[in-house]
Amino acid sequence: MKKVMIVDDEILIRENMRSCVDWEKEGFHYCGDAPDGEIALPLIEEWMPDILITDIKMPFMDGLELAAIVRKQMPAVKVIIMSGHDEFRYAQNAIRLGVEDYCLKPISASELVELLHKVGRKIDEERQRLKSQTVTKERLLADLCGGLIGTSEAIETAKDLSIPLSARYYVVAIFDIRSAEAADSQEPRVMNGLREALDRQLGAGIDRLSFVRSRTELVVIFKGGSAEGMADGLRGIGTEIRAELAARFGCDIYTGVGSVQGRIQGIHVSYLEAEEDKYIARLKQQNTAALRGSDDMAPMGVLLDRAAFLDFLKVGSPAQMEAFVRNFARELQPLVWTSSSYGFYLLNDLTLEAFRAAKQTFRTGVDPSDSIGRLQQAIKQVATWEDSLRYLGGLLLELWQWRSEAADKYGDIIKSVKDYINCQYNNDQLSLKVIAQHVRISPSHLSKVFSQETGQTLTEYLTQVRIGKAMELLKTTRRKSFEIAFDVGYNDPHYFSNLFKKITGMTTKEYRNQGVSEVKDHPKQPEGRMA
C-alpha cells in the first residue's frame, strides 16, 4: 500500500482528512501528519511517504518551501498542494516546483480518494517503467553470474519478471562460438543452432535459463531437482554440441562447465568455475588440433593413463611420487624427443587436464594462464625421458602446493574479511573490490571462496552487518532514520528504509516502537533481583 502523509496547520483539517477516508480499503496507508513544514520534514525523512499532501499557507515553513525541499531531496515522493486561497500565482509556483496536483480546500472525501488514486496510478506506471528500463531478464541473470545481487532480491526480481528461477540445484555453462567463416551474418544462425542443440541434448528434469554475454558467447544456467541427475544429464554436453555445430555450420565451440551448486548464490561460484574450465578447454582443443595436424607424429600408439595421474594428484604424497612417476611414464620411453613433437602434445594435454582437475578440486585462486604458459615453456625444454620424469614430478609438486594452501588458508581469509567489514561497514564506498584489495586476492576468487565457505555472498553478509548495526542504533539512540542510514553506510535513506523493512518485516519506526513497548511491558526490577 502506498503511504500518505498530510501537513496542515489546522488540526480540524488534518483530523477530518484522516477520518473521512477508509485508507486500507482504498489501498493506502495513512502514516501520519504534521502542523507545519519544519516539523514535517524530519518525519517525512523517517516515514518516507509515497504521497505528501500539504497546505500552502503555514507558519515557520510553508507548503511551497516544503515542496521545494522534498522535490530536491526525495524526488520519488509525489506532492499535492492544497490551499484555501484561490489565487493563480500559488498554482503557478506549485506547478513550477513540479508538484503532482493542486486543489482547493475544502475537498470532499470522494474528491480526495479520486485524487489519491490518480496519483497512485502514476506512481505504479513510473515504477513499472523504471523496472522495465533497469531490470531485464538478461540483466538479472548476468548479475547472478557476476555475484552482484543477493538471494532475496534475485527471487523478488525474478518473480516480477515472471522468470522461474527457484530450483534445488544449479550449474552454469559457457559456450563460446568460433565461426570458421568469421562472418557476422553467420553468428546469429549458429547461436540459434546452439539453443536448438541444447534443447535436444538436455537430460530429463533439467531446465535452463540463458543470456547472450557477447556477440559469440552464450551463458546458460541449468536448473534441476537432483545433483546426480544434473551431473549425469550434463556430462559430455559440450562435446556433443560441439560435434553437432561443427557438422552443421563448420564452426567450433569452446565450452566451460561449473560445479553443481545447491544455492542461488552458488550460481556465481559455478560461473567462475565455468570461465576457468572454458579457458582450459580451449587450450586442450587447440592442442588436440595441433596434434592431429602435425607431420611428425609417428609413435601414435603411445598413450598416458590420465585418470591414474589425476587420482594420484588428489591423494598421492611426495614420498610416493618418484615410484609413481617412473611407472606412469613408461609409455614415453620410446619417444625421440628431439625429432618429434608428439611428446610435447602428450605432456601438454596431461598438464591442461591436471589443471582443470586441480581448479575444481582444490578451489585455488591462482590464475591458471600464468602457470600454464610457464609450464608449456618447460615442456618445450624436455629432451629425454629423464627430463619428462622431472617435469611430471614438478607438475605434481606445484599442484600439491595448491592442495596444501586450499586446506588451511581460507579460514584466515574469511576471518580477515569479516573483521574488515565489521570495522568499515559505515563506509558507503565499501565494495567487493575494496575488500579484495585489503585481503590481497582477486575480487572474483574472494567472492567465490566467501560464498563456498560461509553459504552467503559478501553482499548479503555486509547487508546483515549493516542492518544489525541499524537495529542496535534504533534501540539505543534517538537518532532519526535518515541519520542512522548514513551511520551504517547507506547514502540513500529511502533505499535503507525499504531494505530494513524487507529484512526485518518492520519499518524503522515500528521496530523502535516495539523496543519501547517491550520496556513498558517489563518494568524495571529492583536492584538485586532478576526478572
Distance between CA atoms of residues 208 and 169, nearest Å:
11
**Residue % of the chain over a pLDDT of 90:** 15
> Is residue 46's pLDDT more than 80?
yes
For residues 91-106, one letter each, b for 16 or more C-beta atoms within 10 angstroms of the residue's C-beta and e for the rest, the string is bebbeebebbbbeeee
Sign of CA dihedral 95, 100, 106, 111: positive
Distance between CA atoms of residues 230 and 207, nearest Å:
10
Residue 86 confidence (pLDDT): 61
Nearest alpha carbon to residue 61 among 51, 53, 52, 69: 69
Does domain 135-293 correspond to CATH entry 3.40.50.300?
Answer: no
| CATH T-level assignment (fold) for domain 411-521 | Arc Repressor Mutant, subunit A (1.10.10)
Render pLDDT for 252-311 as a digit per residue (tens, 0 to 9). Answer: 788 888 888 888 888 988 888 888 788 777 777 766 666 555 555 445 556 778 788 888
Cis peptide bond N-terminal to 368, omega within 30: no
Domain(s) of CATH 1.10.10.60: residues in the chain:
411-521
Domain 2-133, CATH class in plain words: alpha beta
Share in percent of the chain as helix, strand, coil (round to 5):
60, 10, 30
Report, as an integer, the average pLDDT of 445-455.
76
Report, as an integer, the average pLDDT of 391-409.
77
Q: Which residue has the higher pLDDT, 440 or 497?
A: 497
Among 190-194, 353-357, 441-445, 454-458, the minimum mean pLDDT is found in 441-445
Q: Which residue has the higher pLDDT, 433 or 165?
A: 165
- CA distances 427 to 441, 466, 482, Å, are 21, 10, 15
Residue 523 confidence (pLDDT): 44
Distance between CA atoms of residues 379 and 95, nearest Å:
76
> Is residue 409's pLDDT more than 70?
no
Residue 530 confidence (pLDDT): 30
Q: Strand, coil or helix: what is 321?
A: helix
Render pLDDT for 151-182 as a digit per residue (tens, 0 to 9). Answer: 888 888 888 888 999 899 999 989 888 765 54
Residue 85 confidence (pLDDT): 62
> Is residue 98's pLDDT more than 80?
no
What stretch of H or E contains 53? Answer: strand 51-55
Confidence of residue 470 (pLDDT cuts 50, 70, 90): very high
> Are 321 and 396 a contacting pair, CB within 8 Å?
yes
* Beta-strand relationship, 206-214 and 217-224: antiparallel
**pTM score over 0.85:** no
Render pLDDT for 239-249 as a digit per residue (tens, 0 to 9). Answer: 777 777 777 77
**Residue % of the chain over a pLDDT of 70:** 84
- CA distances 461 to 37, 109, 150, 440, Å, are 38, 47, 10, 19
Residue 314 confidence (pLDDT): 80
Nearest alpha carbon to residue 119 among 255, 27, 204, 16: 27
Distance between CA atoms of residues 505 and 193, nearest Å:
47
How many CA atoms lie less than 13 Å away from 351 in the CB half-sphere?
A: 28
Residue 352 confidence (pLDDT): 82
User: Angle formed by the axes of helices 151-160 and 137-146, to 10°?
Assistant: 170
Render pLDDT for 176-231 as a digit per residue (tens, 0 to 9). Answer: 887 655 444 566 777 888 888 887 777 667 888 988 887 788 899 999 888 888 88
Q: What would the grid cell of residue 395 be?
A: 607438475
Domain(s) of CATH 3.40.50.2300: residues in the chain:
2-133
- CA distances 95 to 49, 122, 190, 388, Å, are 20, 17, 55, 83
Q: Which range has the top average pLDDT, 81-90, 325-334, 339-348? A: 325-334
Helix residue ranges, H only, 179-226: 186-201
